[in-house]
């Protein structure tokens, strides 16, 4: 249950509601959602899931209804692993007085593309594919795959299979090769991705060690969401550095 500060948190409104700063909102939410951060709240605002008011100087001010809406979003992410698009549909339906069914609690986390809002209809959905299947799906040769593996761009799992992302990587590496970029040129991208993954692991590690089993279970969904944000940030930084629009 959310706790409400006893004083000094915000200003009154015409309707009698008090408004809270983002720091106060964070403190209210952390009782139930210890992993929430100010960046997370800002991200949910940017995605249109909450619309706090702004003071003339630009500071965010959240109503009690905003705080409860944030709590609903975080519960649906934590308990049902719903992507933001589906969560928005549930919230919109609730505002219309409708109730959409929720999946069982503890269901499997959603796919990264679903969370990031950038689904790839061509991506394989199988948990693992064999070597020959990867070569066929990516339309590459055995020699090309061996070269990419030697540079660490692709690696099989312990059982010798490849996950769906390996097929995506193979396709992208092949596409970049058509512009004259060789595997040795792409090692810097792989190293950067490894560093970004390390940062995500630093954020998620405390969740995995948390006493609350629901928080530990939420670590995987948090990892996927941070990965999606990293992808979007990387694209934006590339656009800025190159001075072009990628879309």
Residues 95 and 191 in one domain: no
Nearest-angstrom CA–CA distance, 70 and 112: 21
Residues 77 and 144 in one domain: no
- Ramachandran quadrant class, 119 (left: phi over 0; alpha: psi -120 to 50; beta: rest): beta
Q: Are residues 178 and 85 in the same domain?
A: no
9 assigned to some structural domain = no
Other beta carbons less than 10 A from residue 146's beta carbon? 10
d(C-alpha 45, C-alpha 28), whole Å: 17
Same domain, 48 and 137: no
Residue 219 located in a structural domain: yes
pLDDT in tens, the chain (247 residues): 565 544 443 434 444 568 999 999 999 999 898 878 888 898 889 888 999 999 998 899 999 999 999 999 999 888 877 778 888 889 988 888 888 887 765 444 444 444 334 444 344 444 578 888 888 888 889 999 999 999 999 998 888 888 888 888 988 898 888 889 998 899 889 898 889 888 888 888 887 887 777 777 778 788 888 888 888 888 888 888 888 665 4
Q: Which domain holds residue 52?
A: 22-106
Which residues sit opposite 162 in a β-bridge? 129
Tell me, what CATH number does 54's domain have?
A: 1.10.1660.10
CA–CA separation, 45 vs 147, rounded Å?
44
- Tally of domains in the chain: 2
Structure tokens at 29: 């939410």
* Domain contains 122: no
| Predicted TM-score (pTM) above 0.75 | no
180 and 221 co-located in one domain: yes
Are 71 and 174 in the same domain?
no
- Answer yes or no: do 53 and 94 share one domain: yes
């Amino acid at each position: 249950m959310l706790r409400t500060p006893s004083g000094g948190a915000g200003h009154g409104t015409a309707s009698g509601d008090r408004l809270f700063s983002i720091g106060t909102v964070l403190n209210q939410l952390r009782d139930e959602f210890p992993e929430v951060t100010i960046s997370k709240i800002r991200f949910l605002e940017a995605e249109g899931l909450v619309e706090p008011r702004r003071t003339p100087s630009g500071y965010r001010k959240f109503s009690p209804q905003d705080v409860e809406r944030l709590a609903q979003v975080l519960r649906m992410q934590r308990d049902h692993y719903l992507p933001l698009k589906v969560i928005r549909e549930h919230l919109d339906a609730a505002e219309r007085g409708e109730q959409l069914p929720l999946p069982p609690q503890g269901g499997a986390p959603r796919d990264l593309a679903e969370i990031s809002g950038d689904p790839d209809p061509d991506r394989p959905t199988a948990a693992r594919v064999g070597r020959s299947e990867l070569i066929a799906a990516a339309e590459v040769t055995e020699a090309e795959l061996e070269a990419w593996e030697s540079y660490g761009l692709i690696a099989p799992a312990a059982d010798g299979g490849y996950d769906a992302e390996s097929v995506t990587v193979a396709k992208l590496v092949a596409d970049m090769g058509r512009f004259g970029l060789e595997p040795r040129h792409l090692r810097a991208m792989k190293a950067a991705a490894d560093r970004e993954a390390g940062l995500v692991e630093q954020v998620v590690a405390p969740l995995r060690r948390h006493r609350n089993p629901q928080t530990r279970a939420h670590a995987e969904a948090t990892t996927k969401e941070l990965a999606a944000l990293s992808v979007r940030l990387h694209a934006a930084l590339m656009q800025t550095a190159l001075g072009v629009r990628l879309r």
